[in-house]
Amino acid sequence: MNRLWTVEETKTLRKLVEENRFDSWSKLQNELNRLHGVNKHPQSARHRWENLNGGLTLNAMSLNITPERKEYLVACWGNNFPMSKTMKGFKEQFGRTITTKQIYSMLRTTFSDKELKNMNNKDKKNDKMSVIRGRWTPKEDKIIGKSATVNHALSQGDSLKGRTVSSIRQRFYKLKKIQKAERLEAANSLNNIDKAHKLSKPKKKVVKTKTVKPTKKPKTPYQIWTVEQDYELVMNFYELSIDEACNRFNRPYGTIAKRLETIVNSTKPAHISLLMTATKEIKARKKAESKPVKVGLLARRKARKQSKKIAKSNRKIAKIEKKLNKMKGE
């Protein structure tokens, strides 16, 4: 339960408000509770301040209202100045922005709620009377039509006095549509003139030039296989690589392989005799290659020593296997 305010607490409240260090009543009340060791509600300081100052609320308190500022706002309100002009003049004169809530909260100290409502209704009526509702003049259309964007059109406020933002925006888009249609009509008429001009001109005869096709290179004829080449092919085909065979016979590998196949499968007597002589020579060559090469004395000694070592190791392995079998009981 909150107890009554003491004189010391009230003095502290006035001091804290004059310092203007707090942007809310709850923060101010927390500081006051800390200084006096009390536990008051956060809104208790606001109610106490309004009772002391005739209803001045937090919005007005945060502005740090001076007598000069109060006189200015009362004079503007008494002369039925619009809110927009009052706020603009306040910023120009005192270098601070003010909101409508702050103006109302401060004016409650001077005027009653009924007086404020009547003044507010008058202000709204004056604003409505200042709005122009009617046809757009050619001068206004010219100003809006020259604007490149909507924002640029809206910025022409002095030249379009009495027109609302929504009406200017609608008029801007309508004029842009009309301008676009006019441009398209002009472009179409120009295109039609160009077409007519082209049709009236005599057509020039186009001389077609014959394109000369590039001559194809004559195919190189395949060389005829000689008897010497056939014999060499049968003798050395399986010992040559693909690249070696191509370089040797100066032909693709496929044609070389086909030639060998035709010789082997042929029934011609020339091909049969060629194969017979080639097989005899190939056998003689293999025999010459398979003759035993004489081994020297040192090589034979090394071979004997190595065979002795192998036999010795085999005997050792046999002995070990016998011992193992005995241990197993076999």
Cα–Cα distances (Å) from 231 to 91, 117, 226, 246, in that order, read 116, 127, 9, 16
Q: Of the ranges 42-46, 204-208, 231-235, 260-264, which one carries the lowest mean pLDDT score?
A: 204-208
- Find the helix or strand (DSSP H, E) in which 274 lies: helix 269-289
Q: Where are any strands of DSSP class E within 227-299?
A: none
**Angle subtended at Cα 190 by Cα 187 and Cα 195, rounded to the nearest 5 degrees:** 125
**CA gyration radius for the chain?**
59
pLDDT in tens, 184-219: 888 887 776 666 666 555 556 666 666 666 666 555
- Is the whole model's pTM more than 0.85, yes or no? no
Q: In whole angstroms, give the CA distance from residue 60 to residue 82.
A: 19
Amino acid type, 160: L
Q: In whole angstroms, give the CA distance from residue 150 to residue 80.
A: 32
**pLDDT for residue 188:** 83
pLDDT in tens, 125-171: 444 434 555 678 888 888 888 888 888 887 776 777 777 778 888 88
Q: Of the ranges 55-69, 134-148, 249-263, which one carries the lowest mean pLDDT score?
A: 55-69
In degrees and rounded to multiples of 5, residue 136 shows phi and psi of: -80, 135
pLDDT in tens, 1-47: 457 888 888 888 878 776 666 667 788 788 888 888 888 887 787 77
- Residue 13: which of 38, 46, 41 has the closest Cα? 46
Q: Which residue has the higher pLDDT, 162 or 179?
A: 179
Look up tokens 């010795």; give the residue. Answer: 312
Q: In whole angstroms, give the CA distance from residue 32 to residue 325.
A: 107
Secondary structure in 3-state letters for 192-218: HHHHHHHHHCCCCCCCCCCCCCCCCCC
**Do the beta carbons of residue 28 and residue 61 sit within 8 Å?**
no
Q: Where are the domains of the chain?
A: 1-53, 60-130, 133-194, 227-289
- Residue 221 — very low, low, confident or very high, per pLDDT cuts 50/70/90? low
How many other CB atoms are there within 10 angstroms of residue 89's CB atom?
15
Q: Considering the chain, what is the average pLDDT of its residues?
A: 75
